[in-house]
Amino acid sequence: MGVMNVDSLLTENVAPPGLKGVIVADTEVGSVRGDEGWFHYRGHNAAELAREHTLEALAHLLLVGHLPDCTAEEQFRAELAAARRLTGEAADLIAALARTDMPSMSILRSVLGMEVDPRPTLDLEHDERRAAVMRAIGITPTVLAAVNRIRSGVEPLASDESLSHSADYLRMTLGRAPLSQHARAVETYLCLTADHGFNASTFTARVITSTGTDVGGAMAGALAALAGPLHGGAPGRVLDMLRAIGHPDNAVPWIAAELDAGRKIMGFGHAVYRAADPRSETLKAVALELGGDLVDRALDIESRILGYLAEWKPNAVIVTNVEFYAGVVLHLAGLPQEAFTPTFTTSRVVGWGAHLLEQAANNKIMRPSARYTGLLHNGD
């Protein structure tokens, strides 16, 4: 019996590891221009939108296709507020699962299966798909806030339809009406992170949608991707890093030891950006407005880490990414660390919805190939 290696048999159309830089679809939702240090939602500068508009306005832009006027924004806000309501059955399920060891993102996946239209997107009209997407976006903050409350030993709160989506999420998580500056700080973060190109979770949502399955199923797959610490789990780890460093004088020795041990430095570096991450720059300004000792230490530590990284890899461009100041801002707004990734989810589900609708509207199942690198066994 003979063997042969088949690397040489498949040489054309081989993608780089992680599909880096490979274009796999057309989209009108938005894109990231990492070399220029900016990203957009449907052609609008996303960082500017986050500074000037509400989350409802941005969600309307992403899902409907254009920024709303005042009347349309109020109608959209009311629709989204109604979508935050939970059924009694869903509330019972959350209460039961929150008392287990199941991660909050996994609990949300279970509730999506119960609360979102289970019919395949292939069998739905656009308006029906959009209604299912709105339901998924609406219940996400309600579910995640409820899980956090139950695990903190207190009763969950029902949604308040008089509040904005971001303010109500903060209220349901904290158990009290948030300060206006905290609500706006969190809303700015949510606006900045609603969409960001073909990241791992968004690509997952589109691949699953391409099979024609239900909205809840596609969202569940995206949630599983976002739960990974290399995707949605970094803000909390940044806060851990700041606590571990303590005084800024300890920043360089701490970072040097981490790099020598081969560990990743959360909050620095990005797969796409080769110029300043506009999300980080915007959140840095929000952090400065909130002020305090943590902000002062974070600024000093950031400067020292960037200086060290520039010497460590002089030929690389390593920038501060969104997670660094996200951890600071979310902490100052009163959110517990275990709520950081759920907060990210509350925004990114909007982008998933936009991509899901776009994929379903002009669908072709995604079926790439793999390069087999093992051996072929030939008979005698």
377 is catalytic: no
Q: Per the residue annotation, which of 115, 187, 323, 358 is the catalytic one?
A: 323
- Long-range (24+ apart) CB contacts under 8 A made by 294-302 are 294/242, 294/328, 294/331, 294/332, 295/328, 295/332, 297/242, 297/247, 297/248, 298/242, 298/324, 298/325, 298/328, 300/248, 300/251, 301/242, 301/245, 301/248, 301/251
What lies within 8 Å, CB to CB, of 5 at 6+ separation is 373, 375
Q: Per the residue annotation, which of 40, 53, 270, 331 is the catalytic one?
A: 270
Quick one: pLDDT at residue 108? 97
292-331 residues labelled b (16+ CB within 10 A) or e (exposed): eebbebbbebbebbeebbeeeeeeeebbbbbbbbbbbbbb
Quick one: pLDDT at residue 328? 95
Q: Which residue ranges form the domains of the chain, and what is each CATH number?
A: 2-22+371-378 (no CATH), 43-232+335-361 (1.10.580.10), 234-331 (1.10.230.10)
Angle in degrees, CA 363, 22, 343, rounded to 5: 75
Quick one: pLDDT at residue 275? 66
Low-confidence ranges of the chain (pLDDT < 70): 1-12, 18, 232-234, 270-271, 273-275, 379-380
323 is catalytic: yes
CA–CA gap between residue 55 and residue 280 (Å, rounded): 18
Nearest to 298 by CA among 242, 358, 355, 352: 242
pTM metric for this prediction = 0.91
